[in-house]
Structure 1
Amino acid sequence: MHSATSRAPDQASSPADDRASSAADIEARLTAELASVVAGARRRALRDGDRQLDTAHLLHSLMESDPEVRAAFESTPQIARVLGYLVQRSIGYGLRWQGSVEDSGEVPVMTQPGWSPSALTAMDHALRRAAARGRDRAGGCDLLAALAADAECRAVEVLHHAAVDPASLTRRLDESSRQG
């Protein structure tokens, strides 16, 4: 849990302070479950020897921990294929990503050490999706929809390899959010 820090009106904030508070603001607007997903993705990135948490780390952690996210897929074999590719990341598939920065070309709202620009952009889009649905906090399906919408991110590359159509996945998530 992050504590709020007050600043006297005459004290100027540095760009580093603004980025840190923005990252804290994002994490404060996640459901407890999604905050746990982010923590799991951080541990996975560290364990894999990656410099940054990326969208594939987020997808992996979502798939492992969120039953609503798994329910958004068409079938159990599709879920198994996605998880299979994600597990292989550290033993071959995905090794070409090590040492490189994931950047799908969108300008991130902010930067944060330890996060890829694409992962930050996905978190921002998840928060916007939640707000558009009248929610104060983003959940796992909000993040999955944000990941699937970024055609150039590593999570979508995994989905393509697992024969998952990101556009169909996004439509199912949108339909589900309108019904729920």
Structure 2
Amino acid sequence: MSGPNHPGIDAGLSAELASVVSGARRRALRDGDRQIDTAHLLHSLLESDPEVRAVFDGGPQVARLLGYLVQRSIGYGLRWQSAVEDSGAGPVVAGGRWSPVAAGAMEEAYERAVLRGDERACGLDLLAALVADPRSRAVEVLGRAGVELPPLLERIESGCEECVSGGDAG
């Protein structure tokens, strides 16, 4: 969890990832959801981060994912609105803007960046964190769209190596 030196959920983000988070916030508000969840983050990542889109198995897979996420936002998501996304890993923060799973993914993305020697998380860090919890809504969306997680994780790790050499100073 957050230690005394942790900058907070929003502070350790690249400029691009801060834009993704902003998009996820807008989507959650527009959809009438109580909290930003991992599906909101996945949707925003796919729409705005070319490095994230590149790790998927081509354009048709991205199109299926976006189609499913749009359907979710206009109807399927209604069954999620009454419940907080919770992996059971920790307490639900009352009145929080983030689901517990999404908050954990944001923190894990930052921790991945730090382990890589970077002060800012990139989109691939967040994608890796989103797929780390098999009970997250992002993983459910990926599964429904036919995305196989092991090959996706391999492509994410390869992409993260390029993220380091890309030198995103945010």
TM-score by length of 2: 0.86
Identity %: 62
Q: List gaps (5 residues or longer) in structure 2.
A: 166-170
**Cα RMSD (Å) of the superposition?**
2.3
Q: 1:146 aligns with which of 91, 111, 129?
A: 129
C-alpha displacement at 1:96, in angstroms? Answer: 1.0
The letter for the 1-side match of 2:116 is: R
Q: Structure 2 matches for 1:61-80, cutoff 5 A?
A: 61-80=44-63
- Which residue of 2 is the match for residue 43 of structure 1? 26
The 4+ residue runs of structure 1 with deviation greater than 3 A are 21-24
Paired with 2:42 and 2:94, the residues of 1 have a C-alpha distance of: 20
* 1:126–1:76 CA distance, 2 compared to 1 (3 A): same
Match among 147, 159, 169 for residue 176 of structure 1 = 159
Partner of 1:156: 139
Query: Structure 1 residues 113, 22: closer, same or farther in 2, change over 3 A?
Result: farther
Q: In terms of mean alpha carbon deviation, does 79-88 or 93-102 score higher?
A: 93-102
CA displacement, residues 61-105 of structure 1 (integer Å, 9 cap, x when unaligned): 100010010001011110001001100012222221012100012
Instruction: State whether residues 16 and 122 of structure 2, in contact with CA within 8 Å, keep that contact through their aligned partners in structure 1.
Output: yes
How far, CA to CA, are the matches of 1:127 and 1:77 in structure 2?
A: 30
**Structure 2 residue 40 is the aligned partner of structure 1 residue 57:** yes
Per-residue CA deviations over 1:90-131 (Å, capped at 9, x if unaligned) read 2222221012100012227x7871110000000011011111
Can you list the C-alpha shifts for 1:116-162, whole angstroms capped at 9, x where unaligned? 00000000110111111111100111000100111000000000000
Instruction: Give the number of the structure with larger relative contact order, counting CA–CA contacts within 8 Å between residues 6 or more apart.
Output: 2
Distance 1:126 1:74, change over 3 A: same
Give the direction of change, closer, same or farther, for the CA distance of 1:35–1:94 in structure 2 (3 Å limit).
same
- 1:54-133 alignment, distance < 5 Å: 54-107=37-90, 113-133=96-116
Q: Is the 8 A contact 1:150 1:156 kept in 2?
A: yes
Stretches of structure 1 that go unaligned for 5 or more consecutive residues are: 1-18
Residues 28-53 of structure 1: CA deviation (Å, up to 9, x unaligned) = 11001111111110110000000000
Residue of structure 1 in register with 2:9 after alignment: 26
Return the index of the structure with the highest Cα Rg: 1
**Cα gap change, 1:27/1:75 in structure 2, threshold over 3 Å: closer, same or farther?**
same
> How far 1:170 sits from its partner (Å)?
1.2
C-alpha contact (below 8 Å) 2:56/2:62 kept by paired residues = yes
8 Å CA contact 2:124, 2:159 repeated in 1: no
| CA distance in structure 1 between the aligned counterparts of 2:66 and 2:12, rounded to whole angstroms | 27
Task: Kindly provide the amino acid, as one letter, of the partner of residue 68 in structure 1.
Answer: E
CA distance in 1, matches of 2:94, 2:107: 12
